[in-house]
């Protein structure tokens, strides 16, 4: 397929590379910032553009990988071409596009992307949704060409998925960050925690997280939890996080299903 990428950030970069590697042709990369557009366009042998009026009709699909609140505003530049226009956001309804074009769709990669970190794209869950069956089919085919994990997910489901991903990924990474900060000044480095982090994630590849919960809260070890809160006396924000998460673990353990 001929593909036009709108955006040059983390998602745009990884999607464009995956499409290119699968044999598709990236025709244009658009970014407001010409240098950003040029860098990505160079990697995928596309034309770099930074003006919406330079967008070419010579493509099979427009993929919007831009900020959520910029999506709706960009559609008028594309709807005249009568080609599929899809966004890549977990949080934005299909309707944000379908209000403006009948060729609307969603192509949401459920993964965390940073430009400096390669990803095995064939394992990335791709969640697709089309305004009609023809668009869904096109998106499904495109998705299967780059990944083994393709799901049809509607807008309501996708929002749940995105929320779950914030807990499983964004908040988790912040906990890693907190743990690194806690070691600062102790003469011990983050390297000491890396095997623990790897194993914690590895455990849930086969197990359900509830079945492998460890630590003071699940043991209801009041003494250790009090000592930890004491150690965090100068960091009330971390105390709150510690308390809330511990309470939810204890509640979960008692009811078998946590805060629901």
Min CB(82)–a copy of itself separation in Å: 30
Chosen residue from 33, 54, 99, 123 binding a copy of itself by CB under 8 A? 123
Instruction: Report the half-sphere exposure of 69 (CA within 13 A, side-chain side).
Output: 0
- Using CB under 8 A as the binding rule, whether residue 112 contacts a copy of itself is answered as yes
Task: Name the residue nearer to a copy of itself (CB basis): 48 or 161.
Answer: 161
Nearest by Cα to 150 from 136, 164, 160: 136
Task: Name the residue nearer to a copy of itself (CB basis): 53 or 206.
Answer: 206
**Sequential DSSP letters for 188-253:** --GGGGHHHHHHHHHHTTTS-GGGG--STTTTT-HHHHHHHHHHTTT-HHHHHHHHHHHHHHHHHH
- Using CB under 8 A as the binding rule, whether residue 237 contacts a copy of itself is answered as yes
Task: Name the residue nearer to a copy of itself (CB basis): 51 or 194.
Answer: 194
Residue 23, C-beta contacts closer than 8 angstroms, at least 6 positions apart: 145
Chosen residue from 42, 141, 248, 254 binding a copy of itself by CB under 8 A? 248
Cβ-contact 49, 30 below 8 angstroms: yes
- Using CB under 8 A as the binding rule, whether residue 136 contacts a copy of itself is answered as no
Give the footprint of a copy of itself on residues 49-108 (CB under 8 A): 67-69, 91
How far apart CA 188 and CA 180 sit, in angstroms, is 9
- Using CB under 8 A as the binding rule, whether residue 233 contacts a copy of itself is answered as no
Task: Name the residue nearer to a copy of itself (CB basis): 6 or 127.
Answer: 127
Task: Name the residue nearer to a copy of itself (CB basis): 132 or 240.
Answer: 240
Min CB(14)–a copy of itself separation in Å: 11
Task: Name the residue nearer to a copy of itself (CB basis): 51 or 174.
Answer: 174
Residue 135, H or E segment: helix 133-146
Distance of CA 55 to the CA centre of its chain: 26
Q: What is Dmax (Cα atoms) for the chain? A: 67
> Is the alpha carbon torsion for 27, 29, 35, 39 positive or negative?
negative
Min CB(164)–a copy of itself separation in Å: 4
- Using CB under 8 A as the binding rule, whether residue 190 contacts a copy of itself is answered as yes
Give the footprint of a copy of itself on residues 142-171 (CB under 8 A): 149, 151, 153, 157, 159-161, 163-171
Chosen residue from 132, 244, 254, 255 binding a copy of itself by CB under 8 A? 244
How far apart CA 125 and CA 148 sit, in angstroms, is 8
How far apart CA 20 and CA 39 sit, in angstroms, is 15
Task: Name the residue nearer to a copy of itself (CB basis): 123 or 132.
Answer: 123
Give the footprint of a copy of itself on residues 12-41 (CB under 8 A): none
State residue 207 phi and psi, 5-degree precision.
-105, 160
- Using CB under 8 A as the binding rule, whether residue 199 contacts a copy of itself is answered as yes
How far apart CA 215 and CA 68 sit, in angstroms, is 38
- Using CB under 8 A as the binding rule, whether residue 1 contacts a copy of itself is answered as no
């Amino acid at each position: 397929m001929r593909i036009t990428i709108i955006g040059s950030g983390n998602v745009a970069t990884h999607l464009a590379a995956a499409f290119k590697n699968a044999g598709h042709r990236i025709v244009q990369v658009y970014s407001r910032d010409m240098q950003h557009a040029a860098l990505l366009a160079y990697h995928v042998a596309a034309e770099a553009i930074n003006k919406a009026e330079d967008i070419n009709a010579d493509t099979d699909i427009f993929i919007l990988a831009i900020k959520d609140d910029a999506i709706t505003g960009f559609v008028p530049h594309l709807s005249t071409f009568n080609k599929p226009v899809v966004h890549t956001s977990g949080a934005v309804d299909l309707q944000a596009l379908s209000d403006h074009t009948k060729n609307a769709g969603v192509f949401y990669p459920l993964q965390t992307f940073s430009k400096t970190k390669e990803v095995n794209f064939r394992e990335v869950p791709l969640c697709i949704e089309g305004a009609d069956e023809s668009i869904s089919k096109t998106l499904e085919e495109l998705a299967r060409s780059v990944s083994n994990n393709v799901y049809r997910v509607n807008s309501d489901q996708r929002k749940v998925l995105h929320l779950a991903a914030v807990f499983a990924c964004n908040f988790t990474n912040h906990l890693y960050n907190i743990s690194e900060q806690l070691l600062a000044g102790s003469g011990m480095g983050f390297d000491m925690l890396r095997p623990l982090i790897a194993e914690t994630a590895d455990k849930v590849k086969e197990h359900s997280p509830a079945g492998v919960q460890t630590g003071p809260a699940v043991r209801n070890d009041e003494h250790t939890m009090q000592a930890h809160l004491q150690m965090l006396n100068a960091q009330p924000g971390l105390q709150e996080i510690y308390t809330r998460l511990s309470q939810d673990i204890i509640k979960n353990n008692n009811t078998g299903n946590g805060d629901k």
